[in-house]
Homo-oligomer: A and B are copies of this chain.
Amino acid sequence: MIPSAENRLQPLPLIETTALELPRPTLRDNTAELDRVMRRLKMEGFDPLRVHFLNMAGLVSKIRLHGQKMTALLSYWDGHWELMDVVGPGHEGPILGMAVDLGTTSLSFHLGALGNRKVLGQLSVPNPQIIHGEDILTRILFSRQEKNLRTLQEMILKTFNDAFLQITRRHGTLPGEVCALSVAGNTTMSHFFLGLDATGICKEPYIPAVNHFPMIHGGDLGLSLHPFAPVYVFPNVGSYFGGDLLAGIVATSMHRSREIQLMVDVGTNAEVVLGNQDWLVACAGAAGPALEGGVMECGMVALPGAIDRVRIDPLTLEPRWHVLGNEKPRGICGSGVIDLVAELFGAGILTVQGTMNTGLRTSRVVKREDGPAYVLAWGDETESGQDLLVTEADVGIFLKSKAAMYTILQVICKKVGVDLEEVEKIFVAGAFGNHMDPAMAIRIGMVPDLPPRLYEGVGNTAGDGAVMVLLDRTLLSEVRDVAGRITYVELNVNVEFMNEFRGALFLPHTDPRLFPSVNIPADQGGRGGF
């Protein structure tokens, strides 16, 4: 269940169980029922140990029911333990925990068994808040009315509860059996999840309501988990650097690395962390949803039916592609778009400026009312029966996203005074992290021109990090420590950014020296011609 390479000998999960065999109460030791259990647990090291008032009466009756033999469930609250339940002998099942990557576009749930560190099941569902805005900004504007904030929160909570039911049912259990929850979301999503005013996030000086959230009892949130299950929400570092990124850092372990490493997480925002065990610098900027495949006419997320790989024959200009799942193509996902733009550029169909060369001898480049387009799949090949095409306008939007991403990487390195060559590892997280072909991303100038082996697709690091804290409670203080030592650079207000950005709008860049490995057509200012 642990994505990180590290293997602890002794697991330290968020929930511990311990079997108790208590002496029968006597006139000489007539300690109260609950106190007897608490005393024993403290002796076993669960100290300081608390119990929630509302749980007390229920615990007492269970303790009375089970008599001398029982198993106690203890939850770790980052500084103290809480006695959350007791079960009779023979009723100890696996201790279940749930980890959630709470994304703007979709939510992914991971049900795990804490004892044997197994992920039992996963489930991804769209974020239902989308009806109130595709992007964060729209939703924050919507949330300015308190009842709308409540609506957004309830949408997430309902999605959680529905998903809990669905995923636990598959494994023959019930949501009430889930004993712990960890949630990694961006700052806005975490605010909505907890019903917190998010309006400060989108206006200067970009102040979230809360960065460090307390641990919460599942019941207080209205979740269908065990009512006293601890709910951990990853803290934020700033308005545009949320708990999802912190979870990502934990998942890559870059905060423990001696070498300088870089992590890029591209969703609707591009978020970057640079550093090692001694220092960490982060920045984030709007990359636009283009990289997620969310804006293009034919864009889609990386689900079955999405084209995720594209090659274009430089002579015939005919494409070959790969579709996720055993389906006809329905759209093109992030990694597919990168491939497509890189191949269109490599084949000379796209110019350095990102315009489409309409003078080529191919039926693939067509003219539409809104400008030229490249037909990736004809109607008879697609699910819908319609041509699947990418327009010059689509490419324009995409170039802004890729330019944003490259610029962020460049600016953060400059800020810190690190040369890109010093970076020993680049983790690419996010929806297309696992699929992105580094050579393709380099060709279009989306990522720096470094040896492709330095790039490592790490996929959903937020979800992985969320799983990891369930399995290793020592990470709670590590996360807090990392959140405290990250230097966050606000890019939204960085003028330098805009200058760099303009140069990065080209393919691969206005300054070809930055991309020595990319073969730029001679007639477009490549080395060939000069």
Interface residues of A (CB under 8 A from B): 25-27, 30-35, 38, 48, 50-54, 56-57, 60-61, 64, 79, 194-197, 200, 204-214, 216-217, 220-221, 236, 238-239, 490, 493
Distance A66 CA – B229 CA, assembled complex (angstroms):
34
Residue on B with the closest CB to A196?
A: B57
Q: Which 10 A-B pairs have the closest CB atoms?
A: A32-B211, A32-B208, A60-B209, A53-B216, A34-B210, A35-B211, A27-B205, A30-B205, A25-B207, A32-B210
A25 and B205 contact, CB distance less than 8 A = yes
A182 to B74, CA, bound (A): 28
A490 closest partner in B (C-beta):
B27
Count this chain's copies in the assembly.
2
19 A-B pairs within 8 Å (CB atoms) are namely A25-B205, A27-B493, A30-B239, A32-B207, A32-B211, A32-B212, A33-B209, A34-B209, A34-B211, A35-B212, A50-B214, A53-B214, A56-B196, A56-B210, A57-B194, A57-B196, A60-B209, A60-B210, A64-B200
Taken together as a complex, chains A and B put the C-alpha atoms of A197 and B64 apart, in Å, by 10
> Once the chains bind, are A214 and B61 in contact (CB under 8 Å)?
no
Select from chain B the residue with minimum beta-carbon distance to A217: B53
Q: Which residue of B lies closest to A211 (CB)?
A: B32
| Residues A26 and B211 in contact, CB atoms below 8 Å apart | no
Q: Which residue of B lies closest to A50 (CB)?
A: B214
A26 to B238, alpha carbons, bound, how many Å? 12
Q: How many whole Å from A71's CB to the nearest CB in chain B?
A: 20
Nearest CB of B to A233, in Å: 9
Which residues does chain B contribute within 8 Å of A196, judged by CB atoms? 56-57, 60
For A210, give its contact among B25, B35, B212, B238 (CB under 8 Å). Answer: B35
Q: Residue on B with the closest CB to A231?
A: B53
With known contacts A56-B194, A197-B61, A212-B38, A33–B207 Cβ distance under 8 A: yes
A265 to chain B, nearest CB (A): 20
Known A79-B48, A194-B53, A194-B56; contact A30-B207, beta-carbon cutoff 8 A: yes
Q: Which residues of B sit under 8 angstroms from A205, Cβ to Cβ? A: 25-27, 30
| Contact yes or no, B214 A57, CB < 8 A | no
Q: Is the CB of B57 within 8 A of A197?
A: yes
- Whether A210 contacts B27 by the Cβ 8 Å rule is no
Q: How far is the CB of A374 from chain B (nearest CB, A)?
A: 42
Known contacts A25-B205, A30-B490, A33-B209; 14 further A-B pairs (Cβ under 8 A): A32-B207, A32-B210, A32-B212, A32-B236, A33-B200, A34-B210, A50-B214, A53-B214, A53-B217, A56-B213, A56-B214, A57-B196, A60-B210, A64-B197
**Shortest Cβ distance from A31 into chain B, in angstroms?**
7
Is B490 touching A60 in the complex (CB atoms < 8 A)?
Answer: no
- Decide if B57 touches A195 in the complex (CB within 8 Å): yes
Cα of A195 to Cα of B197 in the assembled complex, Å:
36
